[in-house]
Amino acid sequence: MRVDIGNALASVASPGVSRDALDQLDETVARAHERIERGRADDEFGYASLNLPERTDAAAIEDAVEPLTDAEAILTVGIGGSALGAATVSQALGGLSADGENADAAPLYVLDNVDPARVREILAEVPLDRTAVNVVSRSGTTAETLSNFLVVREAMEAAGVDWTERTVVTTGEEGPLRELADRHDMPALDVPEGVPGRFSALSAVGLVPAAIQGHDIEGLIEGGRAGADSLAGSLFESPAYAYGAVSYALDQRGASITAMMPYEERLEYFAEWFAQLWAESLGKDGLGQTPARALGATDQHSQLQLYRAGPRDKMVTLVRARERADREIPETDIDGLAYLGGSSLGELLDAEFEATEASLAAAGRPNVRIELDRLDAESVGELLYGMEAACILAGELYDIETFNQPAVEWGKRAARGLLGGGDFEEADAVAEKTELL
């Protein structure tokens, strides 16, 4: 993974960060790196996430899902950090890869929301007797996940399918989901200790669907290892820290919005995963950048106008893979279109990428380029690890609690209380507010 911060420098962009300011910030980065390394060495909550490449056992995941590898569809039932990593990994590796491998992989459906219309659609679409159900919840109590799972289970029973044979559970050591898996002797994998949901993509939480699809999950972990090896006590020596430090520095100078814009359809979920990582980890104490999601080249025809000429409160991250399976554009003699013939869709996408980057730079808008060699398991693993490390570094620089999510927990308790799942003061607050309306 390469990170180019040249277009975030004050000589190019406003807000921008000067080389002197980065040199000064680098001293804080060095201290933050020491803190992170201490946390990793002690397997401290949150910091332990950066040890996943050493801890995740690809073979154990492959063994657990082996009975489900005949699946014609995969249904991930989870939400937030218990769904987005899996969706990101599978989408990034899915479809036709450069050499055509896994072209027939079972499609992944993500049941994260509890919109009844979507749930009905998915249940009507998947062949329930040939579907692998992947239920994921660290707590084992999240209302959306457990409700969706109960609905899926009922649908399978109604279709005469033994759901215990078609389900793999990933959860914490204790809780209702663990008890269910034990009671029915179902394959159950662990959410690793010390790893918050949004940092768990390189564990069973993120890797089960990819393993069922036959993707190279060892390669993903290997990519994570390369990410770990490239962490160093200077932002000038570590691509991940360069990204985290520059994001922080730009935010301090007014770029309170960060737009993640991959130029790969297969990284669309990555932008959503990044948005969760950044928002839920860094949105504390009145601080944190607001993530925005965009897709190149599509959003060049919509959001780019704002990014280039709107308020100077944004940084844009452009992501691409250097090599991809390509498709020629046919020759044509249609007036004015002949120039397209003979080049390829990939060349056009690259031209769009470079044009956007240059257009933002010409308008003095800070942007960062992230480049992968290709969208394979190693590069994707390194990208996810790198963004997690960038986020943890940014959390140190902001001096906030990166690994908790009190606002999210507030909402969970309120919803649970409102549905009669216990006495929660958060639910009382919602009820009082509703009465006032």
Residue nearest to ligand PA5 (CB): 197
**Cα–Cα–Cα angle for 139, 142, 144, nearest 5°?**
155
Which CB sits closer to ligand PA5, 145 or 367? 145
Nearest distance from C-beta of residue 207 to ligand PA5, angstroms: 15
Q: Whose CA is closest to 281, among 380, 370, 393?
A: 393
Which CB sits closer to ligand PA5, 287 or 408? 408
Nearest distance from C-beta of residue 139 to ligand PA5, angstroms: 3
301 is catalytic: yes
**Of the residues 301, 432, 433, 435, which is catalytic?**
301
Nearest distance from C-beta of residue 141 to ligand PA5, angstroms: 7
Which CB sits closer to ligand PA5, 88 or 300? 88
**Of the residues 264, 280, 357, 382, which is catalytic?**
280
Where along the sequence are the contacts to ligand PA5 (CB under 6 A)? 79-82, 137-139, 142, 145, 196-198, 280, 405, 408
| 32 CB-near residues (< 8 Å, 6+ apart) | 393, 396, 397
Which CB sits closer to ligand PA5, 206 or 366? 206
CA distance 300 to 312: 18
The token pair at 54 is 């050493």
The alpha carbon dihedral of 252, 258, 263, 268 has a sign of positive
Nearest distance from C-beta of residue 35 to ligand PA5, angstroms: 21
Calculate the CA dihedral of residues 89, 94, 99, 104 and round it to 10 degrees: 140
433 is catalytic: no
CA distance 248 to 8: 12
How crowded is residue 132: how many other Cβ atoms within 10 Å of its Cβ?
A: 25
Nearest distance from C-beta of residue 280 to ligand PA5, angstroms: 6
Nearest distance from C-beta of residue 215 to ligand PA5, angstroms: 22
Which CB sits closer to ligand PA5, 169 or 294? 169
How crowded is residue 154: how many other Cβ atoms within 10 Å of its Cβ?
A: 12
Which CB sits closer to ligand PA5, 312 or 413? 413
The residues assigned a catalytic role are 280, 301, 412
